[in-house]
Amino acid sequence: KNEVEQSPQNLTAQEGEFITINCSYSVGISALHWLQQHPGGGIVSLFMLSSGKKKHGRLIATINIQEKHSSLHITASHPRDSAVYICAVSPMNYGGSQGNLIFGKGTKLSVKP
Amino acid sequence: KAGVTQTPRYLIKTRGQQVTLSCSPISGHRSVSWYQQTPGQGLQFLFEYFSETQRNKGNFPGRFSGRQFSNSRSEMNVSTLELGDSALYLCASSPTSFTGELFFGEGSRLTVL
């Protein structure tokens, strides 16, 4: 069983829809990261969470430490949101080091106009 | 402020050769982490450096090595290349090893023939 599981693997939405991507993990963590990867490879960090909820523009990320679960929401989705969204965790047993990450397999999102 | 710069962006090598990849972090960032991304395994952590010291290492053979210089620039080296080393190699920098979001470079795409 992977230590970080994401669902769904693939997601197709119509422009304007509300989108949710889920991430479950099985290890103790010091932080959870949501990353966005566009074709071509570059990765952008969207959020780093250790508790609660964060919002940036149309993106909202939540985390429930007790349930070992996080969600990424996109409101009013747009074709430019099409990308792969990756959940990654910083395991607690590495001294809180943020760079030591365990990655999920990613969710490929396609938003149609 | 300049972003994370990785060089070279693309390279082709043959089995048995060695390769050196470079990562220049954002000015003032002292932590650099390296990752390998392949279609089969996804993203995997290689190693993390902070103030010229390797803090953590992922589960990769000894053919994979790295170092960090006093100006925080980092290099990774892969010796005796195998076909399976073909991948996108990404680095990320952060202000310290313990806090702050990660800033990723565009990656170096290595093809081993």
Give the chain A residue whose CA is nearest to the CA of B5. Answer: A42
Say what the pLDDT of residue A96 is.
59
Residue B21 has pLDDT above 70, yes or no: yes
Whole-number pLDDT of residue B96:
73
Q: Would you say A70 and A23 are in contact if contact means Cβ atoms under 8 Å apart?
A: yes
Chain B residues near residue A105 by CB distance under 8 angstroms: 42
Helix (H) or strand (E) holding B17: none
| CB contact (8 A) between residue B97 and residue A102 | no
- Residue A63: CB atoms within 10 Å: 22
CB A110 within 8 A of CB A11: yes
pLDDT tens digit string along B56-108?
A: 899 999 999 999 999 999 999 999 999 999 999 999 998 876 666 889 999 99
Interface membership of A41 toward B (CB under 8 Å): yes
> CB–CB of B103 and A45 under 8 A?
yes
Size of interface A-B (CB pairs under 8 A): 72
B94 neighbors B75 (Cβ within 8 angstroms): no
